[in-house]
Homo-oligomer: A and B are copies of this chain.
Amino acid sequence: MSYLDLITSPTLLLDEKICRANIKRMADKAARHDMKLVPHFKTAQSHQIGGWAKQYNITEVTVSSVKMAEYLSGQGWVNIHIAFPFNPLEIPKLNKIAEKQSISVQVINATTAQMLVDQLENPVGFFIEIDAGYGRTGVEVSDFGLIEEILLIAQKSDKLNFKGFYLHAGHSYYMPDIPALYEQTRNALSMLKHKYNSEYPKLVTRTGDTPGCAVMEDFGDIDEMGPGNFVFYDLMQAELGGCDKEDIAVCLAVPVVDIKKDRKEILVHGGGVHLAKDVLVGENGLKNFGEVVYLNENGWSIPEEKSFLKSISQEHGIIKASDELLAKVKVGDILGILPVHSCMTADCMGEYMTLDGKMVDHAEGSLEK
């Protein structure tokens, strides 16, 4: 019996072989550059996929919320890092996790540093997040006043321990010239390392984004990398050149419910609540919410002629179909959709099905709760 016989409604498929190859490739790359790989598990959010990662010498993970840290704690991780500017209202939850799990947080202002100093009950590490041009979060790289204010506050406590500097150059998703942008990242982290190294000889520097980690070969003296999306990849990463479409490890299986041959459109059950609403806009101005792959007993294949989701609403997806697809599709068939943004799709779906029909857990689902 094939996994295909088990699918009757939208289901997120996970090709374990592709996923493991993605993890191995990044682990090999990190090793080649003498860097530690600390993957961001906001993408996979899974105990089981964490188990696969451990087989490639990955010992620590990153998450983006306390809730995700709670889910992954107690799974044997040497450390879990919460790579989101810490929310002081969650110090009680942090104290609880830190009783049994080595954990670190991200600090970018004095208020939060002081609240941690005042309220921490167990040792917790912290990174200072640095903004070297992305503009989303972090201390501006030249704001030594703020960096030193945070460090001074932390020194008042033996529970809040400085680990180093973290930089997520998320503008690699928007700017075509990743090498130029990485020079910024390398220079910022290297400058900070040398400036604070004598005072904190164990400090490390870490860089975050998948496009950069996938594309770059020169990481300078950066110590650690923390990409997330690479575990699955997606169409956005393929467009940025970080992967091929063949490297995408997840696809949403969607049932075909109607076909309009005259309009070359196929209606599927698969919309915003399954895929999320991330979108690519082509040079022609056409929106693309995901691309069709053909499912078979061993996984999926990418068609020569492209068919794609041209619009989605809450549950509906409308595929602009190639002639090839139109010629063979029937109501009641199941198609695969490669997602635009796999982290969001996985979060919407809350579980995965592998190609042998087994379910894999995700923090948002109920499989291991």
Contact = CB atoms under 8 A, between A and B. Distances in A.
Contact of A272 (B111, B313, B344): B344
Interface string A321-356: 000000000111010000000011001100000000
A89 B267 contact: no
Contact of A88 (B42, B92, B315, B331): B331
Interface residues of A, number: 52
A89 B315 contact: no
Interface centre among A66, A89, A259, A311, by most chain B C-beta atoms within 10 angstroms, is A89
Interface stretch (A199-207, A273-281, A298-306): A273-281
Contact of A344 (B64, B87, B314): B314
Interface in A91-135: 92-93, 108-109, 111-112, 115
B170 A313 contact: yes
Contacts of A56: none
B8 A87 contact: yes
Contact of A84 (B85, B93, B277, B315): B315
Interface of A: 7-9, 42, 64-67, 84-90, 92-93, 108-109, 111-112, 115, 136-137, 170, 255, 257-259, 267, 269, 272-273, 276-278, 311, 313-316, 318, 330-332, 334, 343-344, 347-348, 366, 369
A346 to B, nearest CB: 10
Contacts of A66: 9
A319 to B, nearest CB: 12
A7 B314 CA distance: 28
Given A8-B89, A111-B332, A314 B257 contact: no
